[in-house]
Amino acid sequence: MQNSNDRWMYAILPLKVSGAIFSYLIILYSLSLWRDAGVVGLIAFFMTLGNILGSLFWGSLAFKTSKRLRMFFVGFIGSLLSFLTILFFPQKSFFYFSGFLFTFTTSASIFSSIAIIAEEPNMEEKIGKFQSIGGWGWVAGLTLGTLLSLFLDSRVFLTFLVIFLGISSLFSVRLVLEKGIERFVDKLLLSFYLKRFTIRRTFEIRNLKYKLAKLFYGLPSYSLPKISWVLPKVEHIFYHASFFFLFVGFGLVFSQYATYIKHFEFSDSFVFLTSLISSTVSAIFYSHVKAGRYPTLYSMIAFRILMFLMLIVSGMVSRSLMIVLFLVFSLLDGYTWAFLTVLSNVLTIRLSKLEIGINSFFQFFGYAVGSLMSGWLIGLVGFALNFSLAIVFCLISIVFLSIHVMFNRR
């Protein structure tokens, strides 16, 4: 049953749709200008760096500040600035800056949303729902991007993206404002020991809500909240380290997945298709992750190891069987990513809400390390050994996770 209190979650849709398009468009646009894989690698690095610093900064701030609904729109403003930057300044340095700004600011929208959800009942279910909404938004973005890329060049596409996000942001403002009004009035009524359900349907109170909320949101703020960097607790080091090694493995594989497909001379449309399949499956399964348990996390890592073995085998079979393996890989990728995303959030919040940003930092840092290693390894030893090393890092992750579980049982 649809809960009207969760309507605000749909405010993330414009950001997800435009983000899915931009994450591919910035790469395609750079290739049309320079056709330099090194530039693409640096763009990916700066985007990952933005995720790392964004996770540390916004992940910590989101659980400390009371202005989470305002923080939510940082991602919208940053995305618009990112799109405009490469639209009007098509130089390499601005591409690097744009990629960094995009991922750094969108982290604010994600972490502020998770912080709001963490205070509500049925946290696991609602995080799954939020990820599902975002997942379907990503699917819509990939679908729209695939279709429009057939007719629009990169600059026209960017112009469309700016207009789309600017207009659709009004939809998000309305939904988030409703949530802000509800939270504010709930606190006000609790202060006077009033029960909301006895008065919420009256016309006078609805007008009062909007007047008070308008007054509340119109008050200027002259001070910034204090930021204190949170270090993980000693007993949680192995937990975070397990995600670091896991994402080193992911970086080795997924940063070069499109390169691997193109190595066998498949078309760009096939690359988009594999990504679309993966994102669609993730969107379907996000809401099916009902509880965060370590055995489920173990099984998802095991699936990922199987996927990487499939990639190794794919280079040794016929082209028709290779296509089948790539499609199965995409299905498993979407399935496992849905569980890994929700599980990492739920398990980390259970350990410590303030460490969710730290855990994301370890994930992004691991992915950045894996991405940097992959280019060097593929040039030196080839794709197969690169994917094999990814399996080794996944096994190391399992070892560290097992140590964490063992210590926390005592």
Mean pLDDT of 71-84: 92
Q: What's the pLDDT score for residue 322?
A: 95
Mean pLDDT of 81-89: 94
Is pLDDT larger for residue 342 or for residue 66?
342
Is pLDDT larger for residue 345 or for residue 221?
345
Query: Which pTM does this prediction carry?
Result: 0.69
Q: What's the pLDDT score for residue 104?
A: 94
Q: How far is 324 from 311, CA to CA, in rounded Å? A: 11
> Of all residues in the chain, what percent carry a pLDDT higher than 70?
81
Count other C-beta atoms under 10 Å from residue 312's C-beta: 16
Q: What's the pLDDT score for residue 53?
A: 87
Lowest mean pLDDT: which of 80-84, 185-189, 281-285?
Answer: 185-189
Q: How far is 13 from 405, CA to CA, in rounded Å? A: 36
Cα dist from 10 to 7, 22, 179, 334, whole Å:
6, 20, 11, 21
Assess whether 249 and 371 both reside in one domain.
yes
Assess whether 237 and 161 both reside in one domain.
no
Assess whether 6 and 115 both reside in one domain.
yes
Domain extent, residue 209, equals: 1-227
CB 175 within 8 A of CB 72: no
Assess whether 326 and 342 both reside in one domain.
yes
Longest dimension (CA), the chain: 72
Does the pLDDT of residue 131 top 90, yes or no?
A: no
CB 308 within 8 A of CB 257: no
Assess whether 155 and 203 both reside in one domain.
yes
Q: How far is 11 from 112, CA to CA, in rounded Å? A: 12
Mean pLDDT of 383-398: 95
Q: What's the pLDDT score for residue 312?
A: 95
Closest CA to 161 of 149, 173, 174, 175: 149
Q: How far is 407 from 410, CA to CA, in rounded Å? A: 6
CB 50 within 8 A of CB 99: yes
- 202 DSSP 8-state letter: -
Query: pLDDT tens digits, residue range 160-180?
Result: 999 999 998 888 888 877 765
Cα dist from 395 to 45, 298, 392, whole Å:
25, 10, 5
Q: How far is 396 from 369, CA to CA, in rounded Å? A: 15
Q: What's the pLDDT score for residue 228?
A: 42
Assess whether 209 and 236 both reside in one domain.
no
Assess whether 241 and 328 both reside in one domain.
yes
Number of domains in the chain: 2
CA-based radius of gyration for the chain: 22
Among 178, 195, 227, the domain boundary falls at 227
Is pLDDT larger for residue 13 or for residue 62?
13
Closest CA to 42 of 277, 361, 371: 371
DSSP string, 54-106: HHHHHHHHTTT-S-HHHHTTHHHHHHHHHHHHHHH--SHHHHHHHHHHHHHHH
Q: How far is 183 from 193, CA to CA, in rounded Å? A: 15
Q: Give me the phi and psi of 382, to 5 degrees please.
A: 95, 170
- 193 DSSP 8-state letter: T
Let me know if 409 is exposed, middle or buried by CB neighbors in 10 A (0-12, 13-18, 19+).
exposed
Does the pLDDT of residue 202 top 70, yes or no?
A: no
Assess whether 198 and 135 both reside in one domain.
yes
Dihedral, CA of residue 143, residue 144, residue 149 and residue 151, to nearest 10 = 130
Q: What's the pLDDT score for residue 291?
A: 62
Q: What's the pLDDT score for residue 333?
A: 94
Among 175, 196, 227, the domain boundary falls at 227
Lowest mean pLDDT: which of 66-80, 223-237, 368-382?
Answer: 223-237
Q: What's the pLDDT score for residue 56?
A: 76
Does the pLDDT of residue 203 top 80, yes or no?
A: no
Assess whether 106 and 155 both reside in one domain.
yes
Is pLDDT larger for residue 394 or for residue 58?
394
Lowest mean pLDDT: which of 57-71, 186-200, 249-263, 284-298?
Answer: 186-200
Assess whether 126 and 254 both reside in one domain.
no
Instruction: For residue 24, give both structure tokens.
Output: 């591919």
377: CATH: 1.20.1250
Among 180, 198, 227, the domain boundary falls at 227
210 — pLDDT class (breaks 50, 70, 90):
very low
Residue that the structure tokens 């390390």 belong to: 369
Q: What's the pLDDT score for residue 173?
A: 83
Does the pLDDT of residue 205 top 60, yes or no?
A: no
Assess whether 179 and 248 both reside in one domain.
no
Q: How far is 330 from 333, CA to CA, in rounded Å? A: 5
292 — pLDDT class (breaks 50, 70, 90):
low
Does the pLDDT of residue 94 top 90, yes or no?
A: yes
Q: What's the pLDDT score for residue 195?
A: 46
Assess whether 235 and 368 both reside in one domain.
yes
Cα dist from 323 to 264, 326, 397, whole Å:
10, 5, 30
